[in-house]
Amino acid sequence: MPFDLASRLAARQEENLYRQRPLLESPQGPEVRVDGRPMLAFCSNDYLGLANHPEVKAAFIRGVERWGAGGGASHLVIGHSGPHHDLELALAEFTGRPRALLFSTGYMANLGAVTALVGKGDTVLEDRLNHASLLDAGLLSGARFSRYLHNDADSLASRLERAEGDTLVVTDGVFSMDGDLADLPALCAAARARGAWVMVDDAHGFGPLGTNGGGIVEHFGLGLEDVPVLVGTLGKGFGTAGAFVAGSEELIETLIQFARPYIYTTSQPPAVACATLKSLELLQRERWRREHLEKLIQRFRQGAAEIGLTLMDSPTPIQPILVGDSARALKLSALLRERGLLVGAIRPPTVPAGSARLRVTLSAAHSEEQLESLLNALADGWATLAKEEVPDA
């Protein structure tokens, strides 16, 4: 029988890969209510704790009162409102680039940028661990598509030698499942030597990284010539929704003319742009958020090492605990949940087979006491796992 969906779903359950959606019954924050239970959450990408900030919420409310609830149409019809324009100007200034362009989601920003820049006869080269949206964009572009070894400039250089037409090198800035940083200086040097452009999706870098929260490009002191195409999302460090691409005047005009996800999508509600403008102001004004977050990251890594957990090489708020087996990852996540802590178990195909993990994410809204609660629960849970795996004498 065609479309035997039941068998596909059953197989996913048997492989411990079945996914379920937790029902959030409260605003984003460290203390949430999920599936009817109060929980301490360590799984949100709200890195700076702005998603439920009073000033951001007030800006959103004022935006609704002034601009209404919806965008109404695409940006090219009648959906490009004053707050959209103001936010694009602010993001251009924030990133130190001539212009920025808003998209409704990060997925659409990546899809729009790649497919507008390369096509048949061109080449797109991507890191093997890039986000799914980047990989999909490369495949859908129609360009010759190849993936280089993770964060390996030599592997990239060998593929650049075989590239045809216009060549776009695409990488995450912060890899969302490992938390490590792209080696941008080396990758940009390899691309520049072959006349290729570099595109960075810095979804998880904006806010936490850089002296001013400007992300991985600021972190490494790189500029427009190094990274012509810079993508950022607004639903993580900024705490709101949407995404943007920042670059040259010619790049942004090209996207306006040729990026199908931009051309054929209704704009985000103007009130969201109003809220994001306030988030951007707070990000720049309240430096203590990044300073506190850095202290939490250092303390977590120290405490995890004392427990004997295997962490990834991450200096970011993304702190994955490598478990390996999907069933063990689910078990550890369940043990934490019994203690009132919410940490997601990440399994294939999101991560490679044999590398299931708990993905701990830290926020500037977490207190030191909340972090200690997590470490204590992890110590107990890890000991329980080890005890259960000892064979009977």
Residues belonging to the active site: 176, 204, 236
Chain centre distance of CA 318: 10
Is 204 a known ligand-binding residue?
yes
Estimate to the nearest angstrom the gap between the alpha carbon of 60 and the chain centroid: 23
CA 59 to chain CA centroid, nearest Å: 24
105 is in an annotated binding site: no
Alpha carbon distance 173, 193 (integer Å): 20
Q: Cα(277)–Cα(86) distance, rounded to whole angstroms? A: 8
Beta-sheet pairing, 197-201 with 144-148: unpaired
- Cβ-count burial 324-354 (b if 16+ within 10 Å, e if not): eebebbbbbbebbbeeebbbbbbbeeebeee
- β-pairing, 37-41 vs 341-342, is parallel
Residue 350 labelled as part of a binding site: yes
Q: Does 176 belong to an annotated binding site?
A: yes
Give phi and psi for 83, each to the nearest 5. -60, -35
233 is in an annotated binding site: yes
DSSP per-residue letters across 150-187:
TT-HHHHHHHHTT--SSEEEEEESB-TTT-PBP-HHHH
279 close to 83: Cβ distance less than 8 angstroms: no
Instruction: Quote the CA–CA distance of 54 and 52 in Å, as a whole number.
Output: 6
CB neighbours of residue 205 within 10 Å: 28
CA torsion sign, 106 to 111 to 117 to 122?
positive
* CA dihedral of residues 175, 269, 54, 86 (deg, nearest 10): 80
Three-class SS of 316-370: CCEEEEEEECHHHHHHHHHHHHHCCEECEEECCCCCCCCCEEEEEECCCCCCHHH
- CA 313 distance to own-chain centroid: 17
Binding residues for substrate, as ranges, are 19, 131, 350
Binding residues, as ranges, are 19, 106-107, 131, 176, 204, 233, 350
